[in-house]
Amino acid sequence: MQLDLLTLYGLAIGTLLVGAGMTLWERQARPERSAELGIWAAGYTLLAVGCGLAIGRTHFPGASGWALSNLVILSGYLLILNGVGRLEGRRYGRMSVALLLVVAFAWASVGLGARSIFWNYCSALPIALVCGLTAWQLARSHTLRSLRSLPIPVAIAGGHALFYAFRALVLPVLTGVFGDQILPSLAEATLYEGVLYSVAMPMALLALVREEAQGKLLAISRTDFLTGLGNRQRFFEEGAAMLADSPCASLLAFDLDHFKSINDRYGHAAGDEVLKSFASIAQETIGSLPLLVRLGGEEFAALLPGQNGSRASEVGEAVARRFAGTGHGESGNIRATVSVGLAELGVDGVDLPTLLSAADRALYSAKALGRNRIEFARPLTLLANA
């Protein structure tokens, strides 16, 4: 079935307005991205308005309808670019205003006398530029680079840019060879491609925002609210993968000494400050590569891939020494210590649960031997013979 241009324009306008409505609806559920979603919705709306103006452009005096339609459509694409830029905190406001002024000046100075040439060829070049910049901004995004859906809007914006670059740079050559009779076919192809863009781009950008939000929720579910460290769920999910990729690893189990007495004497708020202080000291001492988590209560664990027992013991001792030498609480008058148990991959277990169990046994030994110390796990074979 072949559709006439008016029907294709109507489809493009309808899908763009639907995309704007869906984006505004999503905006209510994504307050952290409300600005970007609002800008995109405004962009789709301007694209729809520009298409409507394009339908009636011949009813305006001279070439003013052609120029106005082109400028409104270009403004829509610029809003989409600005929304994408805001994802990374980048602003394209000045560039957008400058480009619109240049295009308006071009229409006023040259386009009025050559509106067909400007409409069919020249007007496509700034659109190609803006869509290409949109694809580039998405592709280089550090915030979104881990999202599986990112290549989709990159491909859509990039493909749209290539189509309009073809209109601006290749079509004049083809027209010179085959004549103006190919222009109606080009107009249909432009609208068919435009309808696809009007459906795909809003859906792709919504998918990005939703996947980003889901990723943040997942991160929150795997993070300890008080200390900002990973929680038990993250420990077992990421720890198993880390062990699978590391032939050498050690596990440190930490337990703050006499923590109940700290809560009873200074209050739970002060106890929370002690927990946060330990988390901060341990993170600074151990570094970012190992997996440091709060297992629950006053219990913490650190998985050190690539570290043998000797090196892990030095790390555990450094954490315990720094923690014991630091005053905690708002006034810094709370003193606390930590006991540490150490288990080594291969010697004390071959998987995360057995390693943690071995480190816990070592931790209990450290408690029994006077606290504020580190103890190595005893292999199960030695325990059985004891």
Give tens-digit pLDDT for 293-332: 999 999 999 999 989 999 999 999 999 999 998 888 777 7
What's the mean per-residue pLDDT of the chain?
90
> Does the structure show a pLDDT above 60 at 381?
no
Burial class (CB in 10 A: 0-12, 13-18, 19+), 153: buried
Which DSSP string do the residues of 271-340 spell out, in sequence order? HHHHHHHHHHHHHHHH-SSSEEEEEETTEEEEEEET--HHHHHHHHHHHHHHHHTS-BSTTS-B---EEE
Q: Smallest Cα–Cα separation from 160: which of 187, 134, 138?
A: 134
DSSP codes joined into one string, 233-247: HHHHHHHHHHHHT-S
pLDDT value of position 274: 94
Whether residue 383 has pLDDT greater than 70: no
Q: State whether residue 249 is helix, strand or coil.
A: strand
What pLDDT is attached to residue 218?
A: 87
pLDDT at 110 over 80: no
Average the pLDDT over 209-214 and give the result. Answer: 93
Percentage of the chain modeled with pLDDT above 90: 66
Q: Are 257 and 248 contacting, i.e. CB atoms less than 8 angstroms apart?
A: no
The H or E element containing residue 85 is helix 64-86
User: What's the pLDDT band for 386 if we cut at 50, 70, 90?
Assistant: very low
pLDDT digits (tens, 9 = 90+) for 162-190: 999 998 888 878 777 777 777 778 778 88
259-303 pLDDT per residue, tens = 999 999 999 999 999 999 999 999 999 986 689 999 999 999 999
Angstrom CA distances, 208 to 81, 148, 195, 278, 364, stand at 15, 9, 20, 37, 48
Average pLDDT of the segment spanning 104-113: 81
29-88 pLDDT per residue, tens: 999 999 999 999 999 999 999 999 999 988 888 788 889 999 999 999 999 999 999 999
Token code pair at residue 131: 């869509």
Which amino acid, one-letter code, is at 1?
M
